[in-house]
Chains A and B, each alone.
Chain A
């Protein structure tokens, strides 16, 4: 029998989200649709929210081998959207190497709008095959802060980069305007291919050099300007590797008694944390974007480090509200 209803446009794993600006500069959602296994939740809006908050979730708290999630996000002019998760995005084992679990995000950020995407790390389990593609199209004056990080798996169970394959792709494009095609600003591809052979150097865990987590933070746009400057200046202010302390003992004593400012003491604590967590990071300007790469021996160390950086600088909370940094504190 022919169905009298129009065919459903909703497909498994697909979702769509539109944020727009209400009067009094309040961002709100005008559209939110999703289909199993994707789930989106937005807390009820309050009058003083700085951005509209959406939880990106999956039923059962993870993606089962072969799940395909595709989310389209449209941030309308001047609206602000924050996306967070509730715990690691777990990727379960695939029954075979050909079954790929995919997550795809297509985001369009319009004039003067902003998106803050600070999720928990992806946690691929042993034997999983995962592919993530995130494409951001930015109009004039649009801002984006995006964090993409992946952990070694269930380290408590002894997993250490034991998945089959993990690939992450982040692209930032300028929006096409006046018939001109958009131009690619940045393409950050990371391919972690499981074990390429039996030799030591070919094992993924060996290639990861004792790191339990690695990630990328990409910043672009006017709202991110001060945060970007902060990261670059903190990076160039790092103590030199292999430098020696040439001060005499007397001078060391004098310096240790000197009163240090709050910022200096924060920096000292942060450097100690970087040391303890074995955290390595670098920051670079790439075609107008600021790209921060980091890796650490512990997931918690990386989380505390990035949370501390964002909190110290403060502009993310200022522009998007405290909730935007939920996953990194």
Chain B
């Protein structure tokens, strides 16, 4: 009985579909299009794929961390670009500088980002080691300023939104401890060795781990943000306009460049992080010598 009713109902629907398709064909014919095969085949409704509870959060935070509106203050730093321009005029070339900068930033800092993502409990140790490895005042200032901003973003904005899953809670408490260590270090400026400095690299790795980013995503976002900061600096230094900047950002060269350096540094131990473009240290270190400056580094 119910079977029969179902049958007649589906028959009615099929009739309706045939009717609609007939009308579609007629309408297409009027437009001059031949009837297409794809349209005639009935398409099943697309369902929103179902995720587990963690992944959407991770994607959400991936977008937040890659957003140029993330208040790290990166726009205040040119990572040596401004100084490079002053030193190499009139033969400056942005593509060359971008290649050097990517290589240098990856070889000095990326191993620390990856290490903090692998072992977020070693955050304080990694921070101290990175502090000993940065050879110039200007670079150190840039790294610390952005690192502290990221820590503030975590404390004030992100921490409430991340559910403490058991495998992350350890890292979260480590981060809390680190923030405390930093505050104490600031109040007791004893001697020359700081207890904590809050460099960007290790903090980025640890926070990316806590919000659930994959290691590869973390490395990619970190390097991409660096490229974005350089491009934004280049636009403000009037090297080229915003459309050209987007063109460079979207280019295959930048994509491959980032992928190459990540691959190169994927297994680099933090002890083996170091400068691969020595002149970069000179450019960044001599930024203070510029007569006029629009950036902090």
Contact = CB atoms under 8 A, between A and B. Distances in A.
B282 A280 contact: yes
Nearest to B130: A187
Interface string A222-241: 00000000000000101011
Interface string A286-304: 1110010111000000000
B291 A242 contact: yes
Interface string B122-152: 0000001101111111001000000000000
Given A169-B274, A190-B274, A286 B132 contact: yes
Interface stretch (A55-63, A100-108, A203-211): A203-211
Interface in A257-297: 280-288, 291, 293-295
Contacts of A183: 128, 193
Interface size class on chain A is 35 or more
A191 interface: yes
A240 B290 contact: yes
Contacts of B168: none
Given A183-B193, A238-B289, A241-B291, A189 B282 contact: no
A117 B22 CA distance: 91
B221 to A, nearest CB: 24
Contacts of A216: 135
Contacts, number: 118
B277 A293 contact: no
A20 to B, nearest CB: 29
A153 B196 CA distance: 41
Contact of A293 (B86, B131, B136): B136
B66 interface: no
Interface stretch (B11-19, B93-101, B225-233): B93-101
B273 interface: yes
A211 B279 CA distance: 9
Contacts of B131: 287
Interface in A184-223: 184-193, 196, 199-202, 206-209, 211, 214, 216
Contacts of A202: 99
Interface size class on chain B is 35 or more
Contacts of B276: 190-193, 207
B278 A188 contact: no
Main secondary structure of the interface of A (DSSP, over half): strand
Given A183-B193, A282-B281, A287-B193, A241 B286 contact: yes
B291 A240 contact: yes
A185 B193 contact: yes
A187 B281 CA distance: 14
B192 A288 contact: yes
Contacts of B282: 280-282, 293-295
Given A169-B274, A202-B99, A240 B279 contact: no
A243 interface: yes
B107 interface: yes
Interface string B21-46: 00000000000000000000000000
Interface string B49-68: 00000000000000000000
Nearest to B192: A288
A201 B290 contact: no
Nearest to B274: A189
Contacts of A209: 88, 279
A191 to B, nearest CB: 5
A286 B273 CA distance: 17
Contacts of A285: 137
B96 A214 contact: no
Contacts of B134: 286
A187 B279 contact: no
Given A241-B289, A241-B291, A288 B193 contact: yes
B155 interface: no
B73 interface: no
Nearest to A202: B99
11 contacts: A184-B129, A186-B132, A187-B133, A189-B273, A190-B275, A240-B289, A243-B291, A280-B282, A284-B140, A287-B132, A288-B192
The 5 closest A-B pairs by CB, nearest first: A189-B274, A282-B285, A288-B192, A240-B291, A201-B99
Interface of A: 167, 169, 183-193, 196, 199-202, 206-209, 211, 214, 216, 236, 238, 240-244, 280-288, 291, 293-295
Given A216-B135, A241-B86, 10 more contacts: A190-B275, A190-B278, A192-B276, A207-B103, A207-B279, A241-B291, A280-B279, A286-B140, A287-B131, A295-B278
